[in-house]
Structure 1
């Protein structure tokens, strides 16, 4: 299979996570209005959509995005070029573990704490928060997007999730905020993705491939692709839907 007949990849997603346009706009306003950052560091950036919006709102700022997916990084570079901010941002293919980038005035880490630590879940969350504390300037801000259990998952729900899913791999929201405080932050703002944001994300995540499968049923890769998307949909609908949450924490480092 070559690139011309492969299923499209994530073209329906604006953000690589459950984040609405309204929430994104509010986050950008909150992070840039009072004291616009001069430097932005995006950990596990993907195509860095929120970072680009911050740079548009803070025209004197520069940004660096770190990720291991060259496809996503290329998408970010193309978007930056199209929006006239390419001279102020770099997309770097690099692990964030022990990164020499930073400290930055604004550090974004949205669904990417695993990129900051080699520790196993749930210990990686605390390790990532300590790394983020090192990466932010005094008086800067960290925007952390991190999973948490909205309620304890049942055995049946865990069995329907990803392989090896465990009730211990996430904290509840209060426990997550406690970890941020223990790492040297104060939580300036606590919010969580709502059901509409999750449904839009999960649907957009699969939509390209679902429509491709409807018209490529006999394609050599259709069976494998169908099994993959059916497995993901089942994990969501039978496993973590309404159980796994995503918190957006705006964190201020303690002097």
Structure 2
């Protein structure tokens, strides 16, 4: 693809979410210490955290599941560059009702909607994660929560049909995890800096391309999309949080 064909896609992002390299490094260190043999990544995208875990746990094998073929192809290229091709599978398929588990370590970062068709999927997703994790394993759930109750005017400027019921507060999220059969080993939340790096990097390739190609036939539609997303971000900035919960299944 040439520069005139359109902007590159998400090349500024290392992770598809507000996750810093420092937090990812600490997370991988803690998880690798549990010596997982199998890792399942739900809604993996290009599976950067999955690949880092496989590097840190040489005996482990991994599966990443997603429906975005372009992201999965990026994951396969990255796996090849790191010598991990024979230890990881990137599967283009739905995770609904998946039979890929149980796994020693299950990742679900910003992808609870991949496990449930409910309008607010987190409770059902947690029950599915309990099904998919091995009895002595770990789940890492990356899930949105309200830092504070959103005001009506803020909701009106967020994603289409946003409602206060789309998320709960952090305490309620932890309660839902306990109800689903987990104990929270580690609770951490994305910082303002992580959000700003993610949201900026999410748009950066397209913003730079648009500045250089303002008269391109696709420029108007791209401009509308970028401006709309930026306005949504400004509406949920400081209101929407993201929790990273490391969960231990309660013995049955």
Equivalents in 1 of 2:36, 2:84: separation in Å?
Answer: 15
SS at match of 1:37: coil
Pair 1:186-2:168 in alignment: no
Q: Which residue of 2 aligns with 1:200?
A: 197
The alpha carbon displacement at 1:253 in A equals 0.1
RMSD of aligned alpha carbons: 1.1
Q: Which residue of 2 aligns with 1:252?
A: 248
Equivalents in 1 of 2:205, 2:231: separation in Å?
Answer: 17
Q: Which residue of 1 aligns with 2:217?
A: 220
Pair 1:119-2:80 in alignment: no
Equivalents in 2 of 1:164, 1:3: separation in Å?
Answer: 35
The alpha carbon displacement at 1:150 in A equals 0.2
The alpha carbon displacement at 1:120 in A equals 1.4
SS at match of 2:94: coil
The alpha carbon displacement at 1:5 in A equals 1.3
Pair 1:150-2:150 in alignment: no
Q: Which residue of 1 aligns with 2:168?
A: 171
Q: Which residue of 1 aligns with 2:16?
A: 16
The alpha carbon displacement at 1:7 in A equals 1.0
Kindly report structure 1 stretches of 4+ aligned residues shifted beyond 2 Å. Answer: 1-4
Q: Which residue of 2 aligns with 1:41?
A: 40
Tell me the alpha carbon deviations over residues 188-213 of structure 1, each in whole angstroms, 9 at most, x when there is no partner: 00000000000000000000000000
Equivalents in 2 of 1:39, 1:3: separation in Å?
Answer: 40
Q: Which residue of 1 aligns with 2:7?
A: 7
Tell me the alpha carbon deviations over residues 34-56 of structure 1, each in whole angstroms, 9 at most, x when there is no partner: x2100000000000000000000
Tell me the alpha carbon deviations over residues 15-70 of structure 1, each in whole angstroms, 9 at most, x when there is no partner: 0000000000000001012x210000000000000000000000110000000000
SS at match of 2:164: coil
The alpha carbon displacement at 1:252 in A equals 0.1
SS at match of 1:137: strand
Tell me the alpha carbon deviations over residues 46-99 of structure 1, each in whole angstroms, 9 at most, x when there is no partner: 000000000000011000000000000000000000011111000000100000
The number of residues matched between the two structures is 251
Equivalents in 2 of 1:233, 1:99: separation in Å?
Answer: 34
Stretches of structure 2 lacking an aligned partner (at least 5 in a row):
none
> Structure 2 length normalisation: TM-score?
0.98
Stretches of structure 1 lacking an aligned partner (at least 5 in a row):
none
The alpha carbon displacement at 1:3 in A equals 8.3
> Structure 1 length normalisation: TM-score?
0.97
Tell me the alpha carbon deviations over residues 177-233 of structure 1, each in whole angstroms, 9 at most, x when there is no partner: 000000000000000000000000000000000000011101000000000010000
Equivalents in 2 of 1:132, 1:106: separation in Å?
Answer: 10
